[in-house]
């Protein structure tokens, strides 16, 4: 690779290598979720995530239910990225000393809303007083048939590189929220994308049963970072065509608003480097756009590039340049 | 009950009640683990716990591998308490800003040691930089046959109340560690019990297949607290006989050492109020001691009281008095 591994990925690889080998697991650390064989031959999927105040969100944004929603959403998205259906969730919550039961209930309200929407049972939890920031840990379990499971590993040179939906909304929402200023209603979809992301559960299942997807993951850290991970896992490279990246219209509008407030903003950077859109990044035959679109409609699907043999991630242009790893929370 | 519910239990009940009803779960929030039906009729068990620096441990104790060990141990103990066998674990780690990869590896080393010992696969994880204290979230999955699962709910008036092993070691270890002074080698078992507890996996399975246990849980918060929970879940009361409580010899020795260092210490309080022994608290027929002992040997099993119809938890003595809820971390 032309770019060094960022700290988070290096550390996770080190930590995973330090563990005793897994003895009864189909797929362990290194994908969106782990997979465990069940007695009927199907697979149990499991994933966990930690969200912490001032790392992943700020309490001054004022939307406590959104914290519960988002913690669940990003784990649901991990199950979806494997082609699976989420079924159960466990939550562990560390509450700051000054929090009231009502504050905790508000977090649970958002969690419950999305759980009901996704038909996921919240089956367990732990609640402690935090010695520091609000911390939410979610674990989500799901199911997938073995032959429908999608991982990061199957991309082949010559495959097309695709994304669902549009990109950059959540990162734009983050930029807007960080200004601390009230934003016009026209930009609310960006803020909503940041606070209450919608995991692509139905689209992921449609792709899993399509039979033509070779590798898949969800966009939690942005194309720039996640594409590196997919390419590393598959032992391939990729070339991204900037002109094909489906930048959400609210990203352009948000950038204009930010510029009017003396803040620099580049739509393509937000779309490629910005995380938390929770769209699906996947590979399939190069000419599959129409087939894929007919399966996912009305959700747009876009081919943004192609998979190559050389293990480099490049951005095509007059000068084709390496696409560096993006920002991660680590 | 004669004592009010402490904050943690009240809040968990409130939060659980606020969630949408579980639709495809055999047993949800309110026991040591949740239970989910699998295709072959067995049950998947799932439990999660959050450990936070300066709430559950102090870094100045200087044993990083112990943090990984203990985080896993307390979740393994929850699976054991249901009569199950733990199989898989997921870890999420929030690392303080100044931590090196070696520090994180040290936590994983302890985790891996116990995982190997318990034949549990570590299958997933999340690693973030903490905006505050070191935080470890563990989720453990396990399996149990439906007819062997033990919950907190089956205790009947007239049952005997039993514990495995001896009590008070971990709480004594905590008191010793908190002095910050070097302790004599004779007290090392107490410190070890606090830092590297041994979940009762084999004993729990032996009790699950014995067919005579009516209710079971693990002692994570101490008899005083956990017995209240068991009685509430079963709709019964209990009378504890202080003279029967199996106080570990190291508790008496620790109390003498603490007294010599001008600290008050009551062995019975440490045994009843002190948490984290991770012994099993269970109910079975009143005359089952010999049967139970033959199944658990060489691990001691002791009948410490009996289950009553009146929903009160009492400590028998010249004056029989209510046993108040003990300390919890909340």
Q: Is pLDDT at A330 greater than 60 in this prediction?
A: no
**With contacts defined as CB-CB under 8 Å, which chain A residues touch B50?**
92-94, 126, 128, 135, 137
CA A91 – CA A74 distance, rounded (Å): 13
Chain A hits for B20, Cβ within 8 Å? 112, 115-116, 122
The reply to whether A26 falls in a domain is no
The last residue of one of the domains, among A148, A168, A203, is: A148
Answer yes or no: is A18 within a domain. no
Q: Please state the rounded mean pLDDT for residues B157-172.
A: 98
Model confidence at B330: pLDDT above 60: no
pLDDT tens-digit series, residues B26-45: 787 878 899 999 988 899 99
Torsion angle of the four alpha carbons B15, B67, B140, B193, in this order, in degrees rounded to the nearest 10: -100
Rounded mean pLDDT, A209-238:
95
Are B18 and A105 inside 8 Å of each other by CB?
yes
Contact assignment for B49 to A123 by CB distance below 8 Å: no
More confident residue, B13 or B156: B156
Is residue A261 over pLDDT 90? Answer: yes
Q: Which carries the bigger pLDDT value, residue B326 or residue A97?
A: A97
Count of CB atoms situated within 10 Å of the CB of A245: 20
* B167 plus B144 within the same structural domain: no
Provide the pLDDT for residue A98.
86
Q: Residue A329: inside a domain, yes or no?
A: no
Residues of chain B contacting residue A23, judged by C-beta atoms under 8 Å apart: 119, 121
Residue B235 at interface with chain A, using a CB cutoff of 8 Å? no
What's residue A4's pLDDT? 47
Give the phi and the psi of residue A204 in degrees, each rounded to 5: -65, -40
Q: Are the beta carbons of A49 and B126 separated by less than 8 Å?
A: yes
Q: Which of residues 259-298 of A touch B (CB under 8 A)?
A: none
Share of chain A above pLDDT 70, in %: 97
pLDDT at position A329 is 47
Long-range contacts of range A264-269, CB-CB < 8 Å, 24 or more positions apart? Answer: A265/A175, A267/A168, A268/A242
Residue in B47, B116, B123 closest to A34 by CB: B123
Determine contact, residues A174/A194, Cβ cutoff 8 Å.
yes
From chain B, the residues in CB contact with A328 under 8 A are none
B52: chain A residues, CB-CB within 8 Å: 94, 128, 130-132, 135
pLDDT bracket for residue A5 (50, 70, 90): low
A168 shares a domain with A279: yes
What CATH number is attached to the domain comprising A242? Answer: 3.90.650.10
Per the structure, the count of domains in chain B is 2
Chain B nearest CA to A140, separation (Å): 10
The span from the CA of A229 to the CA of A30, in Å, is: 9
pLDDT digits (tens, 9 = 90+) for B207-262: 999 999 999 999 999 999 999 999 999 999 999 999 999 999 999 999 999 999 99
Residue B154 included in any domain: no
- Same domain, residue pair B202 and B290: yes
Same domain, A143 and A166: no
Residue B97 lies in a domain: yes
Per-residue pLDDT, B327: 58
Same domain, B248 and B302: yes
The confidence band for A264, taking pLDDT boundaries of 50, 70 and 90, is very high
What pLDDT is stored for residue B177 in this prediction?
95
Q: Which residue has the higher pLDDT, B324 or B258?
A: B258
Q: How far apart are CA A323 and CA A330, in angstroms?
A: 19
CB-CB under 8 Å, B131 with A133: yes
Question: Any idea what the CATH number is for the domain that residue A90 is in?
Answer: 3.30.1330.10
**What is the C-alpha R_g of chain B?**
19
A198 lies in the same domain as A130:
no
Contact: A132, B128; criterion CB under 8 Å: no
Question: Which of A32, A72, A105, A139 to mutate to probe the B interface, most B CBs <10 Å?
Answer: A139
Structural domain contains residue A16: no
Q: Could you tell me if B42 and B135 lie in one domain?
A: yes
The residue out of B148, B169, B193 marking a domain boundary is: B148
Query: Which helix (H) or strand (E) covers residue A3, if one does?
Result: none
pLDDT > 90 in chain A, percent: 76
- What is the CB neighbour count within 10 angstroms for residue A147? 10
The percentage of residues in chain B with a pLDDT greater than 70, rounded to a whole number, is 97
- Alpha carbon of A11: minimum distance to chain B alpha carbons (Å): 6
pLDDT of residue B6: 59
User: Is A128's CB within 8 Å of B55's CB?
Assistant: yes
Angle value at C-alpha A296, between A291 and A297, nearest 5 degrees: 100
**Chain A contacts in chain B segment 121-160 (CB below 8 A):** 121-133, 135, 137, 139, 141
Pair A168, A64 in one domain = no
- B97-149: pLDDT as tens digits: 888 888 999 999 999 999 999 999 999 888 888 888 999 999 999 999 999 99
Say if residue B329's pLDDT is above 80.
no
User: Could you report the per-residue pLDDT of B262-293, keeping only the tens digit for each?
Assistant: 999 999 999 999 999 999 999 999 999 999 99
Residues B109 and B175 in one domain: no
Range from B18-32, B82-96, B116-130 that averages highest in pLDDT:
B82-96
Tell me, what's the pLDDT at B1? Answer: 34
Residue in A132, A142, A221, A275 to test binding to B, most B beta-carbons within 10 Å: A132
Q: What is the mean pLDDT of chain A?
A: 92
What is the rounded CA–CA span in Å between residue B190 and residue B254? 8
ipTM of this predicted structure = 0.90
Q: Could you give the 3-state DSSP secondary structure of residue A219?
A: coil
Closest-CA residue in chain A for B114?
A20
Are A166 and A41 within one domain? no
Within-domain flag for A20: no
Measured distance CA(B197)–CA(B75) in Å, rounded:
11
pLDDT > 80? residue B5? no
Tell me if B132 and A52 make a contact (CB, 8 A cut-off). Answer: yes
Range of the domain at B311: 160-322
Of the three residues B87, B116, B148, the one that is the final residue of a domain is B148
Distance separating alpha carbons of residues A165 and A155, to the nearest angstrom? 20
Asked whether the beta carbons of residue A55 and residue B15 sit closer than 8 angstroms, the reply is no
B138 and B164 belong to one structural domain: no
Q: Which residues of B touch A46 (CB under 8 A)?
A: 88, 90, 123-124, 139, 141
On whether both A164 and A63 belong to a single domain, the answer is no
CA distance linking residue A257 with residue A267, whole number of Å? 12
What is d(CA A263, CA A255) in angstroms, rounded to the nearest whole number?
8
- CA A120 and chain centroid, separation: 19
Residue of B7, B13, B16, B19 to mutate when probing chain A, most A C-beta within 10 A: B19
Q: How confident is the model at residue A25 (pLDDT cuts 50, 70, 90)?
A: confident
- Does some domain include residue A153? no
């Amino acid at each position: 690779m032309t770019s060094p591994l960022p700290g988070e990925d290096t550390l996770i690889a080190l930590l995973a290598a330090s563990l005793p080998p897994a003895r009864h697991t189909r797929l362990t650390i290194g994908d969106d979720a782990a997979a465990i064989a069940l007695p009927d031959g199907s697979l149990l999927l499991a994933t966990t995530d930690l969200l912490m105040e001032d790392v992943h969100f700020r309490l001054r944004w004022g939307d406590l239910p959104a914290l519960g929603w988002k913690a669940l959403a990003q784990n649901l998205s991990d199950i979806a990225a494997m082609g699976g259906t989420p079924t159960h969730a466990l939550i562990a919550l560390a509450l700051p000393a000054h929090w009231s039961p009502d504050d905790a209930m508000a977090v649970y309200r958002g969690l419950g809303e999305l759980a009901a929407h996704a038909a996921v049972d919240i089956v367990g939890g732990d609640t402690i007083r935090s010695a520091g920031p609000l911390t939410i840990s979610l674990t989500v379990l799901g199911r997938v048939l073995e032959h429908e499971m999608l991982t990061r590993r199957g991309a082949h040179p010559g495959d097309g590189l695709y994304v669902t939906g549009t990109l950059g909304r959540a990162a734009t929402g983050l930029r807007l929220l960080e200004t601390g200023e009230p934003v016009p209603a026209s930009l609310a979809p960006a803020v909503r994308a940041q606070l209450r992301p919608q995991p692509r559960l139905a689209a992921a299942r449609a792709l899993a049963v399509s039979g033509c997807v070779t590798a898949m993951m969800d966009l939690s850290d942005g194309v720039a970072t996640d594409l590196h991970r997919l390419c590393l896992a598959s032992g391939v490279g990729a070339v991204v065509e900037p002109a094909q990246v489906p930048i959400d219209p609210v990203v352009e509008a948000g950038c204009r608003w930010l510029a009017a407030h003396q803040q620099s903003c580049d739509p393509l950077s937000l779309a490629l480097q910005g995380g938390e859109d929770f769209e699906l990044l996947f590979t399939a035959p190069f000419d599959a756009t129409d087939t894929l679109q007919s399966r996912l409609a009305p959700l747009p699907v876009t081919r943004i590039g192609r998979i190559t043999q050389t293990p480099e991630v490049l951005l095509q242009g007059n000068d084709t340049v390496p696409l560096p790893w993006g920002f991660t929370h680590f």
